[in-house]
Amino acid sequence: MTLTSPIDEGVTAEDLGHVLFVGVGGVGMSGLARLYATRGLRVSGSELHDWPSLVELAKLGVTVHREHLPANLDGVDTLVRSTATPEDHVELVEARRRGIRVYHRSEALAAAMTGKNSIVVAGTHGKTTTTAMITELLTDRGLAPSFVNGGESPDGRSGQHGHGDHFVIEADESDRSFLRYRPDVAVLTNIDADHLNNYESMDGLKDGFAEFLMGVTPDGLVIVCADDPAAAEVGARLAGEGRRVLTYGTVPGADLRISAPASSNDGVTYRAEFEGRDLGEFRLPVPGAHLGLNSAAAVLVGLHLGLDPDDVRKGLSGFAGVRRRFELTGTVAGVRVYDEYAYHPTAMNAALTTLKGLTGETGRLVVVFQPYRVYRTRDFRTEIARALSIADLAVVMEVFGPGEELPPGDGGEALWLAVPLPADHKWFVSDWAQVAPLVADITRPGDVVVTMGAPPIALMPAEIRAALAE
Q: Which residues contribute to the annotated binding site for ATP?
A: 123-129
Q: What DSSP string runs through 55-123?
A: HHHHHTT-EEESS--GGGGTT-SEEEE-TTS-TT-HHHHHHHHHT-EEEEHHHHHHHHHTTSEEEEEE-
- Burial tier of 428 (Cβ tally within 10 Å: 0-12, 13-18, 19+): middle
Neighbours of 320 (CB within 10 A): 12
Tell me if 453 sits within 8 A of 400, measured CB to CB: yes
- Burial tier of 386 (Cβ tally within 10 Å: 0-12, 13-18, 19+): middle
Q: How far apart are the first and last CA of the chain?
A: 48
Annotation: binding site: 123-129
What SS3 state is found at 436? helix
Tell me if 271 sits within 8 A of 283, measured CB to CB: no
Tell me if 447 sits within 8 A of 364, measured CB to CB: yes
- Which helix H or strand E contains 356, and what residues bound it? helix 345-356
Listed in sequence order, the residues at least 6 apart from 307 whose beta carbon sits closer than 8 Å to its beta carbon are: 137, 141, 315
d(C-alpha 19, C-alpha 103), whole Å? 10
- Give just the sign of the alpha carbon dihedral 469, 55, 368, 289: negative
